[in-house]
Amino acid sequence: MIRLFTACFFSTLLGFLALSAMLRQVPIRNRILFFIGASFPAGAGICSLILFASYLILPSAAKPISLVLSLLSITVLMGYWIYQPRPQHPDPLHTWIRPIPLKDKRALLERLPACLSFLLFATTLVTLLQFYSLSASMDIFGGGDARYFWTLKSKFFFRSPTEWLGMFSPKLFWAHTDYPLLFPGILAWGWTWMGHESLLWPPLVSLGFYISCAWILVWYLSAYVSWSTGWIGGTFFLVLAPYLRWSIYQYADVPLTFFMTACGLTLMAALRSDQKKIFIVSGLLGGFAAWTKNEGFLFIAWVFLLLGGICASRYHKKHREPFRPLLEFSLGALLPLLAFGIVKFFLGSHGNYLGSGPTLETHSGLLFSGWNKTFTILKAFYAWMIPFEEWKGLWGFFIAAAVVFGIRKEKSPIDYAGVLFLIVVLINLGYILTFHITPHNLVWHINTSLNRLLLHSGGLALAFSFESLTLTRKKL
């Protein structure tokens, strides 16, 4: 258990120190909440990159190299963290930490909703942790994809480092050999740290990503709307059944949801504050989305497109350094995208989609092959978004929020809330297009994947909904 604890602690510490170094002197709002939400996933992403690099450098000694590099990174970043100069502009401490004079009844009353909503969030979180631990014990090896794809790749890493390239063998054509390796990488890193294939590590990693999704939503909504909205938004996320279910099954879709959500929300923070280091962090998190699943690459392509449009608009408005955000975002995404490119084009070039075999001509022919397929796909989206027991009306809130956003009078040029809406729409548009070119049976493909695909944009849809439908107070 102590090894399990240290694996969890050191990966989180690495993420915290790396983010802390990147956000040095940056007045990011509700800083502590951001670190609570982003440290573990960022650490997991960095650990997986370190592990992957170690296997590329020297497979026979990859395990010790990965551990030494991880410890070295922690030591260097720790030194940087300890000796860094004090912030010139210390960020404000949280309002709920600052003492309130007990005689000030009005102030106390104003804090009451935030305190009550925090209690609701905390109660829900504790209840879910209890439920998760019991459910995960019943299904310790996770669902089908976890057992046969994600953990399988981790086993190739861990069991025989010199044979690790076997995971990309075309003979395993059914095992998504071209899929990126963040999730298998962090599983194998933890096993390497502990020295054995711990059964507890995969569900713990999955839980870490799930809880982090809730915390990152709390961070964003509390920073840009209000504390009450933050805690209630986080609570609403926790009661959404699909996220809980797929995290218990240990699928990589929940980690992908985290990275997409975190990338989108930090992008909003970066656009609103124009802080270049937040663009870099957003790029890193977006890059990790691509390093988690192919869908993440599609996501970051959409974000590049949107950011490119925003930068072009800045250029037309004669903004100073109009394309700087795009460059900084790209810089942050560089390493994960490099790892993604190595897997996609050099190691696992046997996939189903573009970049792994079929040509653009093949796909364009499938894309425009009649309206029947399009209607089937759209009907499927509608059918999978509607069930209340699954989504608790999230997609209804999203549509209502879009309407409110469209008709509301006070709009600010620094608001950028439309970017969140566009990202959600584009993510799902990408999936609609992907279903058109699927090499599988369409109905089978929809039935086995659509529920999970909807997870990816759900976090951002929730943030947009809560931000737009909270009409009374809005911090910009």
320's tokens = 């100073």
Q: Does 469 bind other proteins (CB under 8 A)?
A: yes
Query: Which positions from 221 to 260 touch other proteins by CB under 8 A, shown as an x/- string?
Result: -------x---x--xx--x---------------------
What is d(CA 471, CA 34) in angstroms, rounded to the nearest whole number?
24
Could you tell me if 283 and 336 are in contact, meaning their C-beta atoms sit under 8 angstroms apart? no
What single-letter DSSP state applies at residue 346?
Answer: I
Q: Quick one: which of 25, 75, 84, 133 contacts other proteins (CB under 8 A)?
A: 133
Please identify which residue in the block is written with the tokens 């075999």. 357
H or E element that contains 358: none
Q: Quick one: which of 82, 102, 109, 138 contacts other proteins (CB under 8 A)?
A: 138
Which residue's CB is nearer to other proteins, number 135 or number 376? 135
Q: Quick one: which of 96, 141, 315, 346 contacts other proteins (CB under 8 A)?
A: 141
307's tokens = 């950011």
Could you tell me if 170 and 64 are in contact, meaning their C-beta atoms sit under 8 angstroms apart? no
Q: Quick one: which of 140, 378, 399, 429 contacts other proteins (CB under 8 A)?
A: 140
Q: Quick one: which of 85, 174, 318, 407 contacts other proteins (CB under 8 A)?
A: 174
Query: Which positions from 313 to 352 touch other proteins by CB under 8 A, shown as an x/- string?
Result: ----------------------------------------
- At 355 the three-state DSSP class reads coil
Q: Does 152 bind other proteins (CB under 8 A)?
A: yes
Contacts of other proteins in 190-219 (CB under 8 A): 198-200
Q: Quick one: which of 134, 305, 312, 399 contacts other proteins (CB under 8 A)?
A: 134
Torsion of CA 108, 109, 110, 114, to 10 degrees: 90
Could you tell me if 397 and 460 are in contact, meaning their C-beta atoms sit under 8 angstroms apart? no
Q: Does 473 bind other proteins (CB under 8 A)?
A: yes
Q: Does 358 bind other proteins (CB under 8 A)?
A: no
CA angle, 238 as apex, 33 and 228 as ends, to 5°? 50
Q: Quick one: which of 60, 83, 85, 90 contacts other proteins (CB under 8 A)?
A: 90
Which residue's CB is nearer to other proteins, number 359 or number 472? 472
Could you tell me if 470 and 226 are in contact, meaning their C-beta atoms sit under 8 angstroms apart? yes
Query: How many residues can be counted in the chain?
Result: 476
Q: Is 196 left (phi over 0), alpha (psi -120 to 50) or beta?
A: beta
Which residue's CB is nearer to other proteins, number 375 or number 444? 444
H or E element that contains 235: helix 227-238
What single-letter DSSP state applies at residue 88?
Answer: S
What is d(CA 396, CA 380) in angstroms, rounded to the nearest whole number?
16
CB of 471 to other proteins, least distance (A): 3
Q: Please report the sign of the dihedral spanned by the C-alpha atoms of residue 413, residue 415, residue 417, residue 423.
A: positive
Which residue's CB is nearer to other proteins, number 72 or number 87? 87
Q: Quick one: which of 95, 349, 352, 356 contacts other proteins (CB under 8 A)?
A: 95
Q: Does 120 bind other proteins (CB under 8 A)?
A: yes
- At 423 the three-state DSSP class reads helix
Q: Does 471 bind other proteins (CB under 8 A)?
A: yes
User: Applying CB under 8 A, which residues contact other proteins?
Assistant: 1, 27, 89-93, 95, 98, 120, 124, 127-128, 131, 133-135, 137-138, 140-141, 144, 147-148, 151-152, 155-156, 159-160, 163-164, 166, 169, 171-175, 198-200, 228, 232, 235-236, 239, 272-273, 392-393, 397, 410, 412, 414, 440-441, 444, 469-476
